[in-house]
A and B are shown apart, each in its own frame.
Chain A
Amino acid sequence: MAELTRRGLLAAGALSLLAGCGKDEPRQQVAYGKPQGEVNVWLHGSQETGEQFQALVHDYIAEYRVDVRLLYLPVGQLDAKLLTAFTGGTPPDVFKIGHWSFPAHARKNRLAPVDTKALTLQNYEPGTTTPLTYDGVPYGVPIDFNPCMLYYRKDRFEQAGLDPDKPPATWEEIAAASTKLTSADRRQVGLQWLYGDPQWALMMITALTKGGTSLADALTYMSKLGNPKLSNPLGALGLFYSGEAAMVISGAFLGPALEKLGKKSTPYGVAPMPAWQGRTSVVPAYTWGWGVAKDSPNQYTAWHLVNYLQGARSVTTNLDNGIIIPTKGWRQAGPRGESEIMKIVADSLPHVDFGPIVPGTLELAKAASSAVDSVAHGKATPAEAAAAYDAATRQIQ
């Protein structure tokens, strides 16, 4: 009898614990059409934009009596935490993720389509909602618009005998300028690529190949510029700030970031994304978007909150801090929306390319990074790297 009890006790304990770990039943939807209840938001933030964002949230809470709970996570950990929350059936109501993550989540039925009764997508700049749309269904709202642009150091241009007021406009001019700007030991270079970063590698390959060359030629071109062995704790931003890199391709956030470093003013200029000679430029871009979980019990309020966060107040404060380029409303924002950066942003819109909108974007980006880095480090020829990238692409798609 004692033996039976012991086994029974063990089994009952284990089973009850396992049962407790099981997935809960879907939570019941809060009544539709009126913001109410509780909304959990997971996001990453920055010191520069955090204060204004929290002020907006506090105003929303005061106005609509909704309990909004923010959870700030490091950008590198948000995706993994969100994935485990989805798998465990306990995702937050609202979350902020990169556009490249939307297709995979949408394909796996984790996202709620945009609720057009709580939020309208009509006022967004053309094309900015495309990367958050999967199979024709919009699943997210773009928070910012980050088209690539060329940053160049005017002081380095002057030292090399180049006109600091005439930045290169084509990839051929970039190569010619880089030759003059690169020192014999390659400790100083012209254009520096962002090595080891999958998203940026994919964006650069997109710009070069869709702009009018083959992948192997694009890899050959990339391998002749920059120095993959240069390093700085702040990455390419640090190399540009120190002057080791005379040119980098980055987003609009780079200017404010340079000013924040601010011990010395950096004499830099900004120019549109280059194009191949005689071709139209292709401007790679990315966006962070708000999404709402399909399992959220309060979807209407979640989209209502997102709509509030994207309002006119957000547009003006973002234009003031310069870090986040809004995806709507800046053309009506007066002088704020007419800066040099915003002119480049406006001109780039017709040529924007958000890259492949497929569930395997992260793997494609990794394959792109492997291709660029293996050629840059002399581990593969451009033809070999291009073949490996093509093979990876076929497998992913």
Chain B
Amino acid sequence: MKVLVRDETVPSRRAAPRHVRPQAAAGVALTLPVAVFFVVFWLVPFVAAIYLSFTDYEMAGTPNWIGLANYERMFADPGFLNSAWITVVYTVCTVVPTIVLALLVAVPLAKPGRLNRWLRALVMIPAVMPLAATSMVWVIIYSDRGLANTLLGLAGIEPQAWLTSSDLAIWALVVMVVWKSLGLFVIILTAGLQALPGEVYEAAAIDGSGAVTTFTRITLPLLRRTLLFVLVISVAGSMQAFVPAFLLTGGGPADATQVLPYYIWANAFPYEHMGYAAAMGMVLLAAMVIISALQFAFLKGGDE
């Protein structure tokens, strides 16, 4: 025997007033372009990439299903393992200094004042310059007789082969990327700092809290959400970084700057191993999702 329960609190669609239908139609019409865009340029390529990662597709003919062969090949491929390790080093060494420096710059810049308004605008300049153009500028800065070696010369230090030494090239990339990303993160953190409640700081001052204690016990915990946002986008940005290595070093010297996105691109296009490249892309995506989830798990706590 069945008991039928009818929930009268949920309005039936059929019972919706007549004026709701035009609104729904308008909603559909307004959403449709975005939905189509999402399906065509995101969902279809994403599903296709997952499918291709299980095939031997070589940019011609029909893709043949090969199961997990691409994934097995990846973990025996020295080029992939080298690129994955370089990506880890590159990500850690760009994200950590960028966020620390951005925080150090944002704290004084968050205070009101005309000078700070100007400084906030100035610090954004590298962030708004096209990456391709700034990469070319840094090629000149790092050249034998460029600005970097001129500054070293003034300090009495021998000139360095910034982009042609396999030991230095990755650090040369890191410095450029930190310089480029800093401004955007300064602005985000400044906005976060300016939104913090002033009365908490007043109470801390009355209690005799010092600057360092206030920063570590009040500012950082209250800034957790902003820091989480900055951390997630900077890690994701660094793990996907392709242009700096492509334009500054071409992945060299001796593959020392061959980050994973560069290796994926090389396999996908010059070598036409699209199936293998798609598999590496899936692994990179999985790594980014896991890392982002861990970041949320560690930094989300305490919001309540």
Contact = CB atoms under 8 A, between A and B. Distances in A.
Contacts of B35: 10, 13-14
A182 to B, nearest CB: 16
Interface string A34-45: 000000000000
B186 to A, nearest CB: 32
B29 to A, nearest CB: 9
Nearest to A6: B28
A379 B169 CA distance: 14
Contacts of B78: 388
B164 A229 contact: yes
B40 A18 contact: yes
B132 interface: no
Given A83-B269, A196-B253, A376-B254, A230 B144 contact: yes
Nearest to B167: A377
Contacts of B256: 377
Interface in B142-156: 143-144
Contacts of A87: 59-60
A195 B272 contact: no
Contacts, number: 93
B253 A2 contact: no
Given A83-B272, A232-B144, A233-B143, A13 B253 contact: no
Interface string B164-181: 111000000000000000
Interface in B1-31: 13, 21, 24-25, 28
Contacts of B58: 108
Interface in A1-15: 2-3, 6, 9-10, 13-14
A234 to B, nearest CB: 10
B270 interface: yes
Contacts of B44: 18
Interface in B193-226: none
B187 to A, nearest CB: 33
A373 B161 CA distance: 15
A366 B166 CA distance: 17
Given A2-B13, A83-B269, A370-B254, A230 B164 contact: yes
A109 B140 contact: no
A174 B139 CA distance: 32
Contacts of A2: 13, 21, 24-25
Given A2-B24, A3-B13, A229 B59 contact: no
Nearest to A385: B254
A26 B50 CA distance: 29
B250 interface: yes
B49 interface: no
A90 interface: no
B48 to A, nearest CB: 11
A196 B196 CA distance: 51
A21 B161 CA distance: 48
Residue in A21, A110, A363 with the greatest tally of chain B CB atoms within 10 Å: A363
B86 to A, nearest CB: 13
Interface string A344-380: 0000000000000000101100100110011011010
B113 interface: no
Nearest to A369: B252
A87 B52 CA distance: 15
Contact of B271 (A10, A363, A388): A363
B73 to A, nearest CB: 10
A228 interface: yes
Contacts of B269: 79-80, 83
A265 B298 CA distance: 65
B266 interface: yes
A56 interface: no
Interface string B31-53: 01001100110001000000000
Interface in A59-74: none
Contacts of B39: 14
A377 to B, nearest CB: 4
A108 B59 contact: yes
A235 B58 CA distance: 33
A79 B270 contact: yes
A6 B60 contact: no
Contacts of A366: 266
B163 interface: yes
13 contacts: A2-B24, A13-B32, A14-B39, A83-B59, A87-B59, A108-B272, A196-B164, A229-B161, A229-B164, A230-B164, A231-B143, A374-B255, A377-B256
Given A10-B36, A229-B161, A230-B144, 8 more contacts: A10-B32, A108-B59, A108-B60, A230-B161, A230-B164, A370-B255, A373-B254, A373-B255
Q: Which 6 A-B pairs have the closest CB atoms?
A: A229-B161, A108-B60, A373-B254, A377-B166, A196-B252, A377-B254
Interface of A: 2-3, 6, 9-10, 13-14, 17-18, 21, 79-80, 83, 86-87, 104, 108-110, 195-196, 228-233, 360, 362-363, 366, 369-370, 373-374, 376-377, 379, 388
